[in-house]
Amino acid sequence: LIYSFPGVSLSDQVHQTPADMYKNPNETATLRCLHTISSYNRFLWYKQSQGGQLQLLGYMVGDSPTPEANVPVIIDGNANANQNCTLTIEKLQQDSSAVYFCAASLHSVIYGCLSAQKPHHHI
Ligand SMILES: *[C@@H]1O[C@H](CO)[C@@H](O)[C@H](O)[C@H]1NC(C)=O
Ligand SMILES: *[C@@H]1O[C@H](CO)[C@@H](O)[C@H](O)[C@H]1NC(C)=O
């Protein structure tokens, strides 16, 4: 069972579908996010497992995906306004069952700051 929610702030401008999904083990799940904020060009994807901890799965800047190391997900599409960004999880396992979040943000042009900005405070 996979729940997905749009980012908390500006959530009327971030659309995440489907809201929930039931899948069997080994099947593939695809979640979709779209935002309408013209200045934003980044989507971050997070997983919240039963323990409540948020895990960053990866992010997309424009059409350039960066999954986190050792996280078996595929991030595809485009993070600019009115474009679909997708998170695909192949070969679902028991521990894939979780709440998934996407968050839209403005990607800083100062690349060196990116890693400092990545975790959690975008939610
Ligand atoms: C999932 O796939 C693996 C490897 O192909 C297989 O061993 C396992 O039985 C499959 N699990 C289910 C529940 O179908
Ligand atoms: C985004 O995905 C939805 C649902 O599949 C589709 O209807 C829509 O046309 C897509 N938008 C773009 C810009 O590709």
pLDDT tens for the 123 residues of the chain, in order: 666 655 445 567 888 888 889 999 999 999 999 999 888 999 999 999 888 888 999 999 999 999 999 999 999 999 999 999 999 999 999 999 999 989 888 876 544 333 333 333 322
How far apart, in whole angstroms, are the C-alpha atoms of residue 40 and residue 17?
19
Whether 74 is in a domain gets the answer: yes
Cβ proximity of 105 and 9 under 8 Å: no
Q: Which residue has the CA at smallest separation from atom 6 of ligand 2?
A: 84
How far apart, in whole angstroms, are the C-alpha atoms of residue 98 and residue 101?
10
Distance from the alpha carbon of residue 60 to the mean position of ligand 1, in angstroms: 30
Residue 80 is predicted with a pLDDT of 95
Whether 6 is in a domain gets the answer: no
Give the chain's domain count.
1
Whether 111 is in a domain gets the answer: yes
Range of the domain at 40: 14-122
Alpha carbon of residue 51 to chain centroid: 19
Residue showing tokens 């521990």: 95
Whether 5 is in a domain gets the answer: no
CATH number of the domain within which 112 lies: 2.60.40.10
Whether 86 is in a domain gets the answer: yes
Whether 8 is in a domain gets the answer: no
Whether 84 is in a domain gets the answer: yes
Which residues, at least 6 apart from 12, have a Cβ–Cβ distance to it below 8 Å? none
Whether 19 is in a domain gets the answer: yes
Residue 7 is predicted with a pLDDT of 46
| Ligand 2 mutation target, pool 84, 85, 102, most atoms within 8 A of CB | 84
